[in-house]
Structures are given as structure tokens and as C-alpha cells.
């Protein structure tokens, strides 16, 4: 028995409160080393002789570990438990709060062997908004979605042309009226939430260099128009998520311009991370000198805010709550969230859920995000570490099918179940090349990867134009004007069908997941909830025999699943 490989941690993603009577536990062991794990558990104030037992289920295989889980019942809202572990040879040990001990009755009954959950506090349940796991998001880059009002077009606006390759400074005239004009389209497509890139006043086309967070950019419309958009979206059952750019502010903002003019005498000098005065001209840092001020990356037009300053905190929290109180938005997406301190995000979280308890907060974090996902900061994050591995297998072949399943299973073990269901999954966005381009213009392959993402735990997000088969390389090429000519095309119909299937089957939003590779090399994703759904994916270069009765499929012919094919089966 490989004791060094056995791992479990209380009050973490390995032991978390589901409700006031149930706790979910996970245990991790070396692959193929352990035959059985049994949890012995009871109330903290009851004798260990009163133990109940439950056998843990192996819920997946990772790169080096097997993952096991069970749900324990705690009728008095307290719990203690210890683990009886049996390896493949039949040898047993007890694993508890003080480590390993020999398996015998004395050790099994010793209270000191038990992990403790002192009380199942409601506040410890790391609640996530119940509506999120049933939501399919649609990301809109407002300047490129639709031009509904030419009267507010910027100067030198370019003609709407979906085949253009936009430059970084180009404008095409997209606005909020264009979104309002297409709300019925979004409802028809089947999405249930709109994630907007920034809409606040800013000089650029992308608006990540904010001038005024309390004003809609005049080239997009005004606050009255935005209020109309939110109301009309809500009438159609569409949630609204805005982009909070709180790591930095635009160089044209009043606050930064005061620093430029008044230097260290500016009342806003401590709003930023300033290393020296004057702050202009900006010089990028080198090994021998610091930049005069900190920025997002090395973008001189985006000075970084000092969120440890109470004035800055109050300023940003007022903005965050304003759009919820007066416009009833449903979610914030937090730009560069990992570069803002945890203390601020805790205040941010508390201020928002005090207004709207089911508010959704999702951070942009491109790496493991456990410190932000303990229930006191974010509901979820943009799940790049998860979805980029999907791309690594489907598009780049850097991972085998077995590698993909193992990597994704390990990723799911990083977070609590309800957190996994609240993660925001996407295969492309305004920051990345479009999936059709990454797929080498192979539309069947792009759709296969999209289908795979849609059966994963989490809240999926479709980038505008994916349903039209739009292509585009890295920023700014991924931000082309929307191609409205492809509505109703075969690609559109397949994306519509995939979204509809997810919407019609709650198991895909709520159910458990087990992933594996079949003997004939199909990737199998099984979701279990009110029903059992199995999705099969052929990512090989040859046809594979398939006998299941598919309710939705691609490249399924004559009882064979062709390359780039998938098949959904309800068991």
C-alpha cells in the first residue's frame, strides 16, 4: 500500500458541506493501488461504537491518482469520520486525523483517529447561484456585434464587413441598440445569458481603458438605453453580466490625469502604484530601473489601481453596487482578477450578495484558482486551465485521449462540486483565436470540441459568431464584425441543437460526471443525475464501430462513428 500517495484534507475541496445534513468527502490514492475505502462516521458527541459506514466510489482516474468520494449524513449538523482503506492484496490501514494506524478494533474506535467537521454552518456551504449551472452564456464584444444606431457611430467608422481583418484602432459602430435588435435572435439560438465586454466610457474599441465607470460609452448609447436592454433581456429570460475592469483604469480618466498634472501633490497619488514622479513620459521597466508606475502588463494607458487604499475600495464598491441596485444586472466578470488583492474581493463579494443573494461573480484567472473559490470571493472563474486542455487534445493532439481524461479529472478534484458547476467554460473569447481557426478551419472538429465542452460541468459560454462559423486569429483578428449572413446555416443549426440539448437535460447542469476511454478508443463522458446521459467522441483518424441509439450526433453513419464525430445517448 502506497501510504505516501493517500491524501485527504478536511474543510476543503476534499471535505465540504452540501447542506445542513450532508458532507461530501473525497480521498485520493495511487492509481490501481487501493481496492476499497470505507468511511466510518457518526455525530461528534456520540460514541464511535455507534458508527455508520458507507463505501466510497471511485469517481475517476487522474494522472497519478485514483479519486474516491462519498456523501455522509449528519442529522445533528456535526460529523466525525475515519477511513478504512484496503489495498489490492487485502492489507488494511486506518487513516484519520492523526495519520495512519494499524487496522484493529481499538484503533478503529479511538476518537483521536477521526476527522472532525465541528458544525455544518450554513455560511460554510460555499453556495453558488442555482441558476448559473443551467445558463448558457453568449459573449458579446459590443463594438462588433451589431450597429443598431448609426447616429452614435465614431468618426472614421469602417463599413460593416465580416471578412475584414480589424486593426487595433478600428471602429465598426457596434452598439447597445444593435444588441436590443437581436435579443429575439439570442433567445432563438437558445442562450440564456449575455456576457458583455466593457460598455463603460473609454477611448478604445475594446473599452478596457475605462474613463468613467458610471457612464455608458456614448458610442454604445446611454444609461437609459442600457436599462432598456436589461429589461428587455430579462423579459426573455436572459441574464446580464458586465465586465468589471478594477485592476486598472484608463490613462484618460480624471483621477490619472490629476496625477499627471499635479504629481505627488495630487489627491489621487495614492490611488495608484507609483514608483517615481513625474509619471510621464512612461518608460517600460528594465533590469536597471523601474517603470514610473505599475500598469496592466506594460500598457502605459492602463495604470494599476491601489485596491488597498480605502478610498479606491469605496470608489470601486460604489460602482459595483450601482449597476446592481439601479439596473439589476445579474453578474460581474472580473478582469485580471488574480492581480487584485483577496481582501478587496472579499469586500466586493459581501457588498454584492447583500443586495442580490444569487449574484454571480466570475474571475478571469488563467491558472488554478482555489484561493478565490472558498465561498467568500468568487462563484467561479473563467475555466481556462480546464478548457485549454480540451483544445490540447482535440486541436493540437498534445494530449492523448487518456491524457485528456486524466487531466480533466484531476482538474475537477481541485474544487468543490458546486464550484465546478459554477465555472465558466469557453473554448474561445475576445482574448484568444477563434476555435474554427485553432481547429485548422475544420468545422466538424470545431463543433465536436464545442459538443464536448457542452457536456462538461460548468456554465458554458459561446463567443459571438461561433454559431455562424466565424474564423479569426489572435486579438484583434478574433474581433471581426459579426457575420449575420450565416444564420440558419448547417453550422448554426448544429450549435442551436447542442444548446437545446443542454437546456432540455438538467443532468448536464447538475449531474455527476465520469470520464473514460473505451476499449475501441472513444472518449466517453457519462453524466448521471435525474437521468443518465453518455456522450461519445471519436478523436481518432479512423471510423469506430458504434451501436448506441444516438439522440444527437455528428458523423454517425452505418453503425460507425467517423472521425470528428460525436453521439449523445440517453440510457
Can you say how many angstroms the Cα of residue 126 is from the centroid of all Cα atoms in its chain? 16
Rounded Cα–Cα distance for residues 237 and 213 (Å):
26
Burial 545-554 (b: 16+ CB within 10 A, else e): ebebebebbb
Domain 512-570: CATH superfamily is Golgi alpha-mannosidase II (2.60.40.1180)
Helix axes 490-504, 443-454, angle to 10 degrees: 10
Mean pLDDT (10-residue bins), the chain, 571 residues: 96 93 96 97 90 95 97 94 97 96 93 93 79 97 98 96 96 98 98 98 97 98 98 98 97 98 97 96 92 96 97 98 98 97 97 97 96 95 96 96 98 96 97 97 98 98 98 97 96 98 96 96 96 97 95 95 98 90
- CATH 2.60.40.10 domain range(s) in the chain: 3-117
Write out the three cell numbers for 91.
492489507
pTM for this predicted structure? 0.95
Q: What is the pLDDT of residue 155?
A: 93
- CATH 3.90.400.10 domain range(s) in the chain: 248-306
Rounded Cα–Cα distance for residues 149 and 562 (Å):
46
Which residues on adjacent β-strands are paired with residue 426?
461
What SS3 state is found at 536?
Answer: strand
Can you give 335-395 as a three-state secondary structure string? Answer: CCHHHCCHHHHHHHHHHHHHHCCCCEEEECCCCCCHHHCCCCCCCEEECHHHHHHHHHHHC
The fold for domain 248-306 equals Oligo-1,6-glucosidase; domain 2 (3.90.400)
Q: Answer positive or negative: Cα dihedral of 252, 253, 254, 260.
A: negative
Q: What is the pLDDT of residue 22?
A: 94
The fold for domain 132-245+307-504 equals TIM Barrel (3.20.20)
Rounded Cα–Cα distance for residues 188 and 65 (Å):
43
Beta carbons within 8 Å of 225's beta carbon, 6+ residues apart: 176, 177, 180, 216
What SS3 state is found at 501?
Answer: helix
Q: What is the pLDDT of residue 148?
A: 98
- Helix boundaries (H) for 356-398: 384-394
- Catalytic positions: 335, 364
- CATH 3.20.20.80 domain range(s) in the chain: 132-245+307-504
Q: What is the pLDDT of residue 124?
A: 65
On the 0-12 / 13-18 / 19+ scale of CB atoms within 10 A, 527 is buried
CB 453 within 8 A of CB 429: no
Domain 3-117: CATH superfamily is Immunoglobulins (2.60.40.10)
CB 353 within 8 A of CB 359: yes
Amino acid at each position: 500500500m502506497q501510504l505516501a500517495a493517500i491524501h485527504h484534507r478536511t474543510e476543503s475541496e476534499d471535505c465540504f458541506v452540501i447542506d445542513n445534513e450532508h458532507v461530501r468527502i473525497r480521498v485520493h490514492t495511487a492509481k490501481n493501488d487501493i481496492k476499497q475505502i470505507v468511511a466510518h462516521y457518526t455525530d461528534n458527541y456520540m460514541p464511535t461504537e455507534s458508527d455508520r459506514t458507507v463505501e466510497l466510489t471511485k469517481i475517476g482516474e487522474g494522472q497519478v491518482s485514483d479519486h474516491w468520494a462519498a456523501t455522509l449524513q449528519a442529522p445533528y449538523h456535526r460529523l466525525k469520520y475515519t477511513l478504512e482503506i484496503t489495498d489490492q492484496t487485502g492489507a488494511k490501514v486506518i487513516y484519520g486525523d492523526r495519520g495512519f494506524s494499524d487496522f484493529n478494533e481499538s484503533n478503529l474506535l479511538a476518537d483521536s483517529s477521526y476527522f472532525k467537521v465541528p458544525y455544518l454552518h450554513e455560511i460554510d456551504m460555499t453556495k453558488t447561484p442555482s441558476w448559473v449551472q443551467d445558463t448558457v452564456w453568449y459573449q458579446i464584444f459590443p463594438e462588433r456585434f451589431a450597429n443598431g444606431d448609426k447616429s452614435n457611430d465614431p468618426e472614421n467608422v469602417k463599413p460593416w464587413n465580416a471578412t475584414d481583418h480589424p486593426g487595433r484602432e478600428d471602429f465598426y459602430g457596434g452598439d447597445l441598440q444593435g444588441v436590443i435588435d437581436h435579443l429575439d435572435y439570442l433567445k432563438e439560438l437558445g442562450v440564456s445569458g449575455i456576457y458583455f465586454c466593457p460598455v463603460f466610457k473609454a477611448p478604445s474599441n475594446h473599452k478596457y481603458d475605462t474613463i468613467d465607470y458610471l457612464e455608458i460609452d456614448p458610442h454604445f448609447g446611454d444609461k437609459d438605453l442600457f436599462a432598456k436592454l436589461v429589461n428587455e433581456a430579462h423579459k426573455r429570460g436572459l441574464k446580464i453580466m458586465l465586465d468589471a475592469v478594477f485592476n486598472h483604469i484608463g490613462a484618460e480618466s480624471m483621477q490619472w490625469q490629476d496625477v499627471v498634472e499635479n504629481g505627488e501633490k495630487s489627491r489621487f497619488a495614492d490611488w495608484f502604484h507609483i514608483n517615481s514622479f513625474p509619471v510621464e513620459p512612461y518608460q517600460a521597466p528594465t533590469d536597471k530601473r523601474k517603470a514610473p508606475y505599475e500598469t496592466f502588463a506594460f500598457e502605459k494607458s492602463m495604470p494599476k489601481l491601489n485596491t488597498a487604499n480605502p478610498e479606491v475600495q469605496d470608489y470601486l464598491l460604489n460602482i459595483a453596487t450601482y449597476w446592481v441596485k439601479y439596473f439589476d444586472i445579474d453578474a460581474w466578470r472580473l478582469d485580471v482578477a488574480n492581480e487584485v488583492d483577496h481582501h478587496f474581493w472579499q469586500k466586493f463579494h459581501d457588498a454584492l450578495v447583500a443586495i442580490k443573494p444569487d449574484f454571480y461573480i466570475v474571475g478571469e484567472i488563467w491558472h488554478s484558482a482555489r484561493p478565490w473559490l472558498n465561498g467568500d470571493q468568487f462563484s467561479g472563474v473563467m475555466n481556462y486551465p480546464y478548457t485549454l486542455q480540451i483544445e490540447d487534445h482535440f486541436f493540437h493532439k498534445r494530449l492523448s485521449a487518456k491524457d485528456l481524461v486524466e487531466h480533466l479529472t484531476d482538474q475537477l478534484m481541485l474544487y468543490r462540486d458546486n464550484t465546478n458547476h459554477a465555472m465558466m467554460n469557453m473554448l474561445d473569447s475576445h482574448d484568444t483565436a477563434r476555435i474554427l481557426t485553432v481547429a485548422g478551419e475544420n468545422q466538424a472538429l470545431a463543433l465536436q470540441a464545442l459538443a464536448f465542452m457542452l457536456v462538461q460541468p460548468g456554465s458554458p459560454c459561446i463567443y459571438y459568431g461561433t454559431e455562424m462559423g466565424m474564423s479569426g486569429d489572435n486579438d484583434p483578428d478574433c474581433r471581426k464584425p459579426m457575420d449575420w449572413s450565416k444564420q440558419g446555416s448547417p453550422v448554426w443549426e448544429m450549435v442551436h441543437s447542442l444548446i437545446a440539448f443542454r437546456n432540455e437535460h438538467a443532468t448536464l447542469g447538475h449531474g455527476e460526471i465520469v470520464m473514460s476511454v473505451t476499449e475501441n478508443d472513444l472518449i466517453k463522458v457519462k453524466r448521471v443525475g435525474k437521468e443518465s446521459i453518455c456522450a461519445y467522441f471519436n478523436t481518432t483518424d479512423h471510423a469506430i464501430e458504434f451501436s448506441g441509439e444516438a439522440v444527437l450526433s455528428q458523423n454517425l453513419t452505418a453503425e460507425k462513428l467517423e472521425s470528428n464525430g460525436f453521439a449523445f445517448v440517453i440510457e
